Amino acid sequence: MCGIVGYVGRTTAVQPLLKGLKKLEYRGYDSAGIAVVEPHLQVYKTQGRIADLEALFTKGVPQGTLGIGHTRWATHGQPSWENAHPHCDCSEEIAVVHNGIIENYLELRKELEAEGHVFRSETDTEVVSHLVEKYYEGDLGCAVQAAIAQLIGSYALAVVSSRHPNELIAVRQDSPLVIGVGEEEYILASDVPALLDFTRTAWVLDDGQVARITRESVVVFDQHGEQQKPQTIRINWDPVQAEKEGYAHFMLKEIHEQPRAIRQTLAGRLGVRGNLQLAEEIPADLLHGITDVHLIACGTAYHAALYGAYLLQDSTDLQVHAELASEYRYKRVRVDDRTLAIAISQSGETADTLGAIRKAKAAGARILAITNVVGSTLAREADAVMYTHAGPEIAVASTKAYTAQLCCLGLLAAYVQLHLRGAYDPELLRQLLEIPDQMASILQACEERVKEYAGQRLAAASDTFYLGRGLDLASAMEGQLKLKEIAYVHAEALPAGELKHGTLALIEPGVPIVALATQPHLLDKLLSNLREVKARNGEVFLIAMDGERDYSQTADEVLLVPPTHPMLAPLLTALPMQLMAYYAATARGHDVDKPRNLAKSVTVE
């Protein structure tokens, strides 16, 4: 995710801004910039690292004591100088930095361009600077409030103007902002680490609040203009803890970020009434006349591909295949101009996946990329791109990027169904909007219970089996991979119906079994398979969705996830399995964020 820093105080703003941005580098970024008021607005930006931004000041530093800074993780537009923040209005008197996504930016941009505003970037953020310009009548805070009244989406904003050399306006809506309190100086940031070199006292903005920050004071208003008292916190974290927001590891932090990540994935794509908005990303020509779909990926992304294939097979008459990219490259496959190849990769740089899509493209296939990284090789080489918007994922084992991929594939399946059949399942999309809140409830309700089970049972196991049927099988495969990746415990996933065809020979007293039971039409079959396990004294931890069933004869322990559309269940069951792997690994004393022999982005064959 992007990082925001703002400064107003006694000293020149450049050094506090650069120092704050460096503290946010762990979040990941592709460009950086600052704006300083001295007395005119001066903007410095670069594609690349903060070191490149620092190099712009080797011949002198502006002396202005008011400024804003930003590290950008691209979501709209390629990583470039033009798309880097801050963004200015037409007169270059107002500068804005932004975290989040403005869902209605295209509509707003068209309106502003019709009114004569000239845009310089491809970003959603730039509409904010032009809206503030449009509504400015001498009071910067009032102009910002008028501007945000037009916005739909999630955002944290910092705004400065050369007409107000001692005033910084900050806004929070679904994206965090904190204000560090110093001696005649204030520093604004999107995350605590940027404050630690300046102060340990901070004020936290709540959703809908607007702060008017000067050297002398901070005044906070709600969306109605009523003055509010900000919440004060005392920061006791050390710098490393602060980067992890108090979590012991980045992986645990990223598990807990999933409700927010899914909201970001849905933003601008699914309206509050369940209406799909994907035409800008996926042109109709890409789908017209297709007969075959190949979903191509590796590792965790391959399990997402299995999920996508199941959804597309269920909702269309297309021939759909999930393919391991490392195998696809070298086997004989039927591909022509009626084939849609969907390549899935968190980084967009996975060598096997790139090799596979190049093979498919050479044979005439159309390429759709699902990736987390704007400007990645996969994004550049594809015919269309669906970004997951999950934000940077630092831990090697994928968590939030995986569930964001599932979310994208759910939206995509509905969009393909709409294109081919003229209709889609509205209930699936309606319930998809509820997934972030349900994820949050799972994390709150089950973490301690899963921690105890994983620490006592999975951490001590030498072999573990994950069972599922239908769509639950793809989820089971991802669950066992997580356990292997970070806990180094041998695990195997298989269709529950296959137990009796060989693997049942390995079930003996005390062997842990993690089973998934979320598909109503297969529930009785799954429970029957589990009775075979229990007859051999296997130990079953069941993740189920139907709270009305009696599981006492088939499971030693039952964890219920909130009821949802069966096709969406994998987004919920992923969380307890991620926690199982995490707590098994920590109980065994492993480096969770950097497991042995593995890399985050596999850029070699």
User: What is the rounded CA–CA span in Å between residue 302 and residue 262?
Assistant: 19
Give residue 493's pLDDT. Answer: 95
Contact indicator for 472, 527 with CB cutoff of 8 Å: no
Contacts of 304 (CB under 8 A, 6+ apart): 297, 344, 370, 402, 405, 406, 409
- Residue 47's DSSP bridge partners are 31
> What does the pLDDT average to over 500-522?
91
User: What is the rounded CA–CA span in Å between residue 12 and residue 24?
Assistant: 20
> Does pLDDT of 538 surpass 60?
yes
> Does pLDDT of 599 surpass 70?
no
pLDDT-derived band at 327 (thresholds 50, 70, 90) equals very high
Give residue 602's pLDDT. Answer: 64
The answer to pTM > 0.85 is: no
Among candidate residues 451, 484, 525, 600, the one labeled active-site is 600
Q: Which residue has the higher pLDDT, 205 or 174?
A: 205
**DSSP single-letter state for residue 484:** I
User: What is the rounded CA–CA span in Å between residue 508 and residue 532?
Assistant: 11
Q: Tell me the pLDDT tens digit for each residue of 33-78.
A: 999 999 899 999 999 889 999 999 998 899 999 999 999 988 778 8
| Burial category of 22 from C-beta neighbours within 10 Å (exposed 0-12, middle 13-18, buried 19 and up) | buried
298 classed as catalytic: no
Q: Which residue has the higher pLDDT, 454 or 604?
A: 454
| Burial category of 54 from C-beta neighbours within 10 Å (exposed 0-12, middle 13-18, buried 19 and up) | middle
Q: Tell me the pLDDT tens digit for each residue of 350-366.
A: 889 999 999 999 999 99
Give residue 1's pLDDT. Answer: 57
Q: Tell me the pLDDT tens digit for each residue of 573-584.
A: 999 999 999 999
Mean pLDDT of the chain: 92
Highest mean pLDDT among 39-43, 502-506, 509-513: 39-43
Please report, for residues 39, 65, 218, 316, the alpha-carbon distance to residue 165 in angstroms, rounded to integers and kept in the order given.
7, 8, 15, 59
Give residue 241's pLDDT. Answer: 65
- Give the residue from 330, 335, 252, 251 showing the smallest Cα distance to 293: 335
Contact indicator for 125, 87 with CB cutoff of 8 Å: yes
> What does the pLDDT average to over 514-521?
96
Domain with CATH 3.40.50.10490 in the chain: 252-433, 436-587
- Residue 3's DSSP bridge partners are 71
pLDDT-derived band at 30 (thresholds 50, 70, 90) equals confident
Tokens 């022509």 identify what position? 336
Give residue 192's pLDDT. Answer: 82
Domain with CATH 3.60.20.10 in the chain: 3-241
Tokens standing for residue 11: 């000293």
**DSSP single-letter state for residue 554:** T
| Burial category of 183 from C-beta neighbours within 10 Å (exposed 0-12, middle 13-18, buried 19 and up) | exposed
CATH number for the segment(s) 3-241: 3.60.20.10
CATH number for the segment(s) 252-433: 3.40.50.10490
> Does pLDDT of 605 surpass 60?
no
Contact indicator for 220, 209 with CB cutoff of 8 Å: yes
Class (C level, CATH) for 436-587: alpha beta
22 classed as catalytic: no
